Amino acid sequence: MLPCLKKIYKDDSEGLHEAMERTSELFNAEDMTAALPVGILLSMEEQKAKGVPIESEMISETKAALFPPMAAVGDTLNWATIVPVMLALMCPYALSGAWWPPLVVIAVGALLCNSQAYILMHMGYNLGNRAIKDLVQSGLINKIMSFFTVMGMFVIGGMISSLVSVTCPITISSSDVSFALQSDLFDALMPNLLTLIATLIIFSLCKKENVSVLKIIYGTMVIGIVLGAVGVIA
């Protein structure tokens, strides 16, 4: 925001100093959707520089009120929906040996993200402070967040079902009968049951504060190698 603030407060060094102090306050939001509140904040700074009676506290409070919902929307929309969808579409081609899927993901992702940030920045600047307040007060922002949360979980569930596979190759045989644990027991109870159980275990570990992601990754690798070596899973 600094280049914009320098342009807004080009003849007011004290105002620029105060604006820079406000800008340095905590603002923890998702990269692309943060463009909307940034546009709104720039609009407020511009109005303040023109003499509109906007208190500094109002700008700071607006920033503090905007970043949680926009961070939630951005994380759900971009990282739990758009990115998994692109990866899910490109993974089959990558697994078949094609070299171009990573380039498509990078190019399309960059195009979507930059377009989103550009549009939201201008939207926030043009609509000003009233836009996000209307969304929050009307409750529409909560509906948007709920929609993208459900959509993101739906996509992630589909990816787990198609890309994660845990099976048990153990077969119990007698003189006349053989009993395969996977097909005759687990699949009879529920298809992909072991995959679901493994996913739920990892999900429960992710929710524990004292268990890091690296521990989960390395633990999963070790357990998978050991159980695979002894023939318990495949």
The per-residue pLDDT for range 181-230, each reduced to its tens digit, is 888 888 888 888 888 888 889 888 888 888 888 888 899 999 989 998 88
Per-residue model confidence as pLDDT tens digits over 144-158: 656 656 766 776 777
Residue 213's contacts (CB-CB under 8 Å, 6 or more residues apart) are 206
- The pLDDT, as a whole number, for residue 66 is 74
Reported as a pLDDT band with limits 50, 70 and 90, residue 142 is low
Q: What is the mean pLDDT of the chain?
A: 81
Partner residues linked to 172 by β-bridges: 179
- The pLDDT, as a whole number, for residue 155 is 66
7 vs 131, more confident:
7
- The pLDDT, as a whole number, for residue 27 is 76
Each domain of the chain, given as residue ranges in start order, spans 2-160, 171-229
Evaluate whether 91 touches 5 at the Cβ level (below 8 Å). no
In this prediction the pTM is: 0.54
- The pLDDT, as a whole number, for residue 100 is 92
Whether residue 52 has pLDDT greater than 90: no
- The pLDDT, as a whole number, for residue 226 is 92
Whether residue 75 has pLDDT greater than 60: yes
